[in-house]
Amino acid sequence: MKILHTSDWHIGRTFHQHPTADALAPVLDALIDLVRDHEVDVVVVAGDVFDSSTPSAAAVEELDRVLLALRGTGATVIVTSGNHDSPARLGAKAAFARESGVHIVTRPEDHATPITVGDEHGPVHFYGIAYLEPALIRHRWPEHRLTNQASAVGFALDNIRADLAGRESDRSVVLAHTFVSGAQGDSCESERGITVGGVDRVPKSAFDGITYAALGHIHGRSTLAPHVRYSGAPLHLSFSEQDKPRGAWLVTLDADGLGPVEWLDLPVPRPLATITGTLDQLLADPALEVHEQHWVRAILTDVSRPLDPMRRLQRRFEHCAVLDFRPSDVDVRATPADPERLAAMTDQQIMAEFLAFVRNGEGPTEDEEAILDDLVSEVAGAEASR
């Protein structure tokens, strides 16, 4: 049996205030092609299908489109909810979808009820663990102390192993959206934390006895054990992920259990790059030409904060999205509050620099510059007429 493990689609997300819909759609189309080309039997999506608990109509339509296309390849599709998803919204049409071979697991109480898919070697049992928020589920099982992610996911896995023990085949796949110990180094700034202080990370040993654990939540590819893996997100969602590959795991189960596991790359619509230097260096360096159409994070090392750096950078790097200031040296005299420096600046320059300071390097637009000119003229005229 061939299984494609993917997760964290985050349909509807923005990237530094830029919509990602146009970038994600062709990536998901490429994923559909992988399913068809590799004759995948089951596609598993381990949570965070949407980026919001209140997805837009366009996001819902995109999910419908992709699920129908995946099912059109002949593959069975199994989806679980993540911490970004609303179980009620994601699972609203689950009963109807199930009849067509698309299984959407969003109810916590369904974690030990398998979706069984057969191959020439017999049945394989797929268990979907919807994201378990302890505060929202502990009333369901008051006899158990479900205080954090480790206890909640551990409880679910114990129930899954108990269910497996009564079945003729122990080949199993678990979908879980959680933070497993050992993946700390693969976390990134685009992930919403679901543990407190690191004390409730799920131990890797919790997945003992499971043939394959398809994990979601970490946005970078990670292998914690041959049978315990994160696929990561199909699209780069932050600059901390820029060097991490995008793709999915192709998992093969044979008669004895876990067989070969192969990484399949997905396309990157627009690569990410971090460039560092003074503003003049970044604007002039010919070696940076390769990044002119990339998503760019610029780290400026100028001692003094230059005027209007974002607009100037975007003239060369159209998709510059983030601007950080890390001066190579601190010039106390060149701070915006230095009286001598302020005395040498026009009122318009002072206001432009203030706007750049509070807007992460983005100075006034041409329209705003005109408004500032009018304000300065109006104030000057009022003072002159006193």
Based on the domain organization, do 36 and 102 belong to the same domain? Answer: yes
Average pLDDT value for residue range 257-277: 97
Q: Which residue has the higher pLDDT, 377 or 212?
A: 212
Q: Is 103 helix (H, G, I), strand (E, B) or coil?
A: strand
Domain co-membership, 118 together with 164? yes
Q: Do 213 and 362 lie in a common domain?
A: no
Q: Could you give the residue ranges of the DSSP H alpha helices within the chain?
A: 21-37, 57-72, 87-90, 94-99, 134-137, 149-165, 279-284, 309-316, 339-343, 347-358, 366-384
Read off the pLDDT of each residue in 5-26 and give the average, rounded to a whole number.
95
Which domain, by its residues, includes 64?
2-265
For 153-211, how does the pLDDT look when each residue is reduced to its tens digit (9 = 90+)? 999 999 999 999 999 889 999 999 999 988 754 445 556 555 544 446 899 999 999 99
- Examine the domain organization and report whether 259 and 281 are in the same domain: no
Q: What pLDDT, on the 0 to 100 scale, is given for residue 381?
A: 61
Name which of 100-109, 142-151, 180-189, 344-353 the model is least confident about. 180-189
Domain check: are 246 and 322 in the same one? Answer: no
Instruction: Give the length of the chain.
Output: 386
**Angle of CA points 114, 115, 116, to nearest 5°:** 100
Residues 43, 4: Cα–Cα separation, whole Å = 5
Give the pLDDT of residue 185: 47
Closest by alpha carbon to 177, among 268, 265, 111? 111
Q: Are residues 258 and 295 in the same domain?
A: no
276/248 same-domain check: no
Structure tokens at 277: 């230097």
Please tell me whether residues 169 and 303 are part of one structural domain: no
> Confidence band (pLDDT; 50, 70, 90) for 55?
very high
- Among 265, 294, 327, give the residue marking a domain's end: 265
Query: Are both 55 and 189 inside the same structural domain?
Result: yes
Nearest to 178 by CA among 139, 136, 132: 132
Percent of the chain clearing pLDDT 90 (strictly above): 69
**pLDDT for 332:** 44
Residues 249, 309, single domain; the answer is no
CB 1 within 8 A of CB 41: yes
Amino acid identity of 318? E
| Tens-place pLDDT, residues 325-374 | 988 765 444 445 555 566 667 888 888 888 877 776 778 888 888 888 77
* Mean pLDDT value across residues 279-306: 95
**What total number of domains does the chain contain?**
2
Distance CA 78, CA 136 (A): 23
> How large is the greatest C-alpha to C-alpha distance in the chain, in angstroms?
95
Give the 3-state secondary structure of residue 317: coil
My answer on whether 122 and 83 are in the same domain is: yes
pLDDT digits (tens, 9 = 90+) for 68-97: 999 999 999 999 999 999 999 999 989 899
Cα–Cα distance for residue pair 264/248, rounded to 1 Å: 5
Confidence category of residue 303, pLDDT binned at 50, 70, 90: confident
- Asked whether residue 36 carries a pLDDT value surpassing 50, the answer given is yes
CATH number of the domain at 205, please: 3.60.21.10
Buried/exposed 210-223: b ≥16 CB within 10 Å, e otherwise:
bbbbbbbbbbbbbe
Query: Could you tell me the pTM of the whole model?
Result: 0.81
Same domain, 276 and 261: no
Domain boundary among 216, 249, 265: 265
Contact 322, 236 (CB under 8 A): no
Residues 156, 161, 167: CA angle, nearest 5 degrees: 130
Residue 186: per-residue pLDDT: 47
Given 213, 233, 265, the domain boundary residue is 265
Which range, of 1-5, 96-100, 110-114, 264-268, averages the lowest pLDDT?
96-100
Digit-coded pLDDT (tens) for 221-256: 999 999 999 999 999 999 989 999 999 999 999 999
